[in-house]
Each structure stands twice: as structure tokens, then as C-alpha cells.
Amino acid sequence: MSQTSPHAAVLHELEPVVAQNLDRHIAVAKEWHPHDYVPWDEGRNFAFLGGEDWSPEQSRLDESAKAAMFVNLLTEDNLPSYHREIATRFGRDGAWGQWVGRWTAEENRHGVALRDYLVVTRGVDPVALERARMDYMTLGYDSGDKTPLEALAYVSFQELATRVSHRNTGRATSDPIADRLLARIATDENLHMVFYRNLMAAAFDIDPDLAMQAVTKEVVGFEMPGATMTGFRKNSMIIAKAGIYDLRLHHDDVVSPVLRAWKVFERTDLGPAGEKAREELAEFLAGLDAQATRFVESRERMRAREAARKG
């Protein structure tokens, strides 16, 4: 093999695993259509075509459902950036290239469906949404200089994070139509997670130390891709307060199950570099867990105070 970097070598060795998992994905992924999930009979023209422009009382969503829908849709909208990220790391040839195309097409469906739903039901301000989309996409998303294995580790967690976030957003809307749509999208995200998680599992067997170091780096530095979007901090707070996505969910429902699937804390094949990375990960997780506990406690106190005030 002429490739010298250990990362390139692992990526090359993963090719057959990519092909297997692409076949598996295509066999289990069910076709669905965004238009089925949109209550078109609720739609009407805006002022530009002689109707009425959006105003807040038209939305059936409360503040937290609005914030979550806004963040989820804009996150989906930045797909060209994510496509660039994975296409430049994994290439356009063979099974990798086929996956990149298929994954991109599926992700695009999410943005299409969410936008149609929100515009037709007047769930969020379409002007604010469009302005934020322009800013966020113009800025683009750049994950920095991640190696291919770091990118694989990152997307394993990120796809699961989007699954949890979409699923809980659906519940928070109190609208059975939105709930079904978001559950459908969450099913896609779960299959994406499984694809990347399986590849990373294979990478652990090929080069455990390199995989372990990549995982620690990505868990410790994890950030949602939406971090650069307009109002992200404020909306993230609202989303966390509502329990749609918070540190507890991040620790328990996103990071922990993926680490368990890779048997990270049971492996006996790590060398000194891998062991060091695993220790660092364990230490970080203990801190994250403690932080999550403090967050949930303070949220409970806040909810109790609010209930007492309303009492």
C-alpha cells in the first residue's frame, strides 16, 4: 500500500465495511414523502399575494417548541456544509461516494419537510427563519481539521443527538402531525447513527488506539453543528429548560449508548496511547455526569418556583 498515514490506511481498510453497511442501510431504510406530513389545507397566502403576513398568535407552538423547530430546521438547512465535510474526508469514489450521495439526499428531505410544515402551519416567523438561514448558510459549518476517524466518531454522536432532539421536539409541539413527522425524521437519523457507529466499531478493531483517541477528542470537544447560528445560545437554553435536549440526555441517551456499543470500557486491546485516552474520557464523563445532575436539580428548583408562583 502506498498510503503512509495511519488514518488513510484505516479508511482504506474500512471500504468493505462501508459497502456492507450501505447495503444494509438501503435494505432497511423505508421510502417516505415529505408532502404526506404537511396539513396543506391549513395553508394560505401571505401579504405579498394578497393574504396576511405572519404574526405570533397564528402559531400553535409554544416558546420551547418554536425554539427547537427553528434550531432543528436551520441545522438541517446547512447540509451543503456537512456534505462538503464528509465528501472531502471520505471521498467520492466507491462505496464511500455512494454513501455520501445517499446520506445527503436523505438529509435534504428533513429540511424540506420541516420547512413545508412550518410555513403551512405558520409555526414560526418565516421572515426570521429565512434571515437566519441566509446568515447561517453564508457562514457555513466547518468542523476544523478533524481526521477521518475523528469525523466518524463525531457523526456517530451527532446523528444520535439529532435523533433525540427531533424526537423530543415532536413531543414538545403537542401537535400529532408534527410529532409524526419528527418521529419519521428521527428514524432516519437513527439509521445514520447506526451506519457511522458500525464503521467506527470496525475502526476500533483495525486500529484501537487511533479509534480510542479520536473518540475521546470528539466526546470532550463535542459541539452541535448549530453553534454558529443566530440565537443559538438563547435557543439552546430554552431547549434545555424544556428537556428537549440537555446535558442529562446528552450523557445518558447519546454519549453512553454509543460508547457501550463500542465496548470502550471493556476493551483489552488498547496500547499506552489508547489507555491514556480512555482514562481522559472516563474523567470527562464523570464531570459531564455531575454537571448534568446539577443542571437537572436547578431546573427542578426553577420549575417548582414557577409552579408556586402560578399556584
**What is the contact surface with Fe ion in residues (CB under 5 A)?**
107, 110, 159, 189, 192
165 in Cβ contact with 244 (< 8 Å):
yes
Q: Which is nearer to Fe ion, 182 or 210 (CB)?
A: 182
Nearest-approach distance from CB 110 to Fe ion, in angstroms: 4
Q: Which is nearer to Fe ion, 197 or 278 (CB)?
A: 197
Q: Which is nearer to Fe ion, 158 or 216 (CB)?
A: 158
As given in the structure block, the three cell numbers for residue 25 are 442501510
110 in Cβ contact with 265 (< 8 Å):
no
Backbone angles phi and psi of 118, in degrees to 5: -70, -35
At what angle are helices 94-121 and 126-139 packed, to 10 degrees?
160
Nearest-approach distance from CB 159 to Fe ion, in angstroms: 5
Q: Transcribe 141-178 into DSSP letters.
A: ----S--HHHHHHHHHHHHHHHHHHHHHHHHHTT-HHH
Q: Which is nearer to Fe ion, 71 or 288 (CB)?
A: 71
42 is in an annotated binding site: no
Q: Which is nearer to Fe ion, 122 or 192 (CB)?
A: 192
Among the listed residues 118, 146, 147, 144, the one whose alpha carbon sits nearest the alpha carbon of residue 130: 118
Q: Under DSSP, is residue 217 helix (H, G, I), strand (E, B) or coil?
A: helix
Q: How many residues does the chain have?
A: 311
Nearest-approach distance from CB 166 to Fe ion, in angstroms: 7
22 in Cβ contact with 98 (< 8 Å):
yes
Nearest-approach distance from CB 161 to Fe ion, in angstroms: 10
Q: Which is nearer to Fe ion, 116 or 189 (CB)?
A: 189
107 is in an annotated binding site: yes
Backbone angles phi and psi of 239, in degrees to 5: -65, -40
83 is in an annotated binding site: no
Nearest-approach distance from CB 160 to Fe ion, in angstroms: 9
63 is in an annotated binding site: no
159 is in an annotated binding site: yes
Nearest-approach distance from CB 277 to Fe ion, in angstroms: 26
Give the Cβ contact number of residue 219 at 10 Å: 22
Which residues are annotated as part of the binding site for Fe cation?
A: 76, 107, 110, 159, 189, 192
